[in-house]
Amino acid sequence: MADAQDVVKKLTEHYDVYIATAAMDVPTSFHDKYAWLREYFPFLDPQHFVFCGRKDIVNADYLIDDNPRQLSIFTGTSIMYTATHNIHDDRFTRVNNWKDVEQYFLGDGGYNI
Average pLDDT, the chain: 94
Half-sphere exposure of 9 (CA within 13 A, CB side): 8
**Rounded CA gap, 20 and 79, in Å?**
14
pLDDT digits 0-9 by tens, 36-66: 999 999 999 999 999 999 999 999 999 999 9
pLDDT at residue 108, rounded to an integer: 67
Answer for the pair 55, 20: CB distance below 8 angstroms, yes or no: yes
Torsion, CA 54, CA 58, CA 59, CA 64, rounded to 10 = -90
Q: How confident is the model at residue 16 (pLDDT cuts 50, 70, 90)?
A: very high
pLDDT at residue 5, rounded to an integer: 98
pLDDT at residue 97, rounded to an integer: 98
Question: For domain 4-106, which architecture applies?
Answer: 3-Layer(aba) Sandwich (3.40)
pLDDT at residue 113, rounded to an integer: 52
